[in-house]
Amino acid sequence: MDFKAMASNLGIGEEDFLELTELLVTTSFSDLAVLEEGLAQGSREPVAHAAHSIKGAAGNLGFADIAAIASEVETLAGQGRFDPINAKADALRQGLDAINMAMDRR
């Protein structure tokens, strides 16, 4: 991941971008835990809310793939279609892990 270019796209410095990205990862992992708990309980609202949070944060920082997956999860939760969400939750976790690994390699 080219964090410098992503920061430039937002018009901020790379260090500020990295701080925001670290906050994104931390917060999104917490949201993912809420999402998974909501799935286990069959409850639409926490799943949709957590997905919405991840979507917004990821989208604002330019992580379009994660934002798109979270958007799909939000839509599916709103429709009460929980079965396909498990695979998408795994994809969200993998995406967040990839960001974490890229930050560690810096």
68, exposed or middle or buried, with CB in 10 Å at 0-12, 13-18, 19+?
Answer: middle
Angle value at C-alpha 17, between 22 and 89, nearest 5 degrees = 45
CATH number at residue 84: 1.20.120
Structural domain of 74: 3-104
Q: pTM score > 0.85 for this model?
A: yes
**Residue 106 — very low, low, confident or very high, per pLDDT cuts 50/70/90?**
confident
For 58-65, what is the mean pLDDT? Answer: 97
The whole-number pLDDT of residue 8 equals 96
- What the block records as the tokens of 54 is 């991840």
Q: Report the number of distinct structural domains present in the chain.
A: 1
Q: What digits encode the pLDDT tens for the residues 9-25?
A: 999 999 999 999 999 99
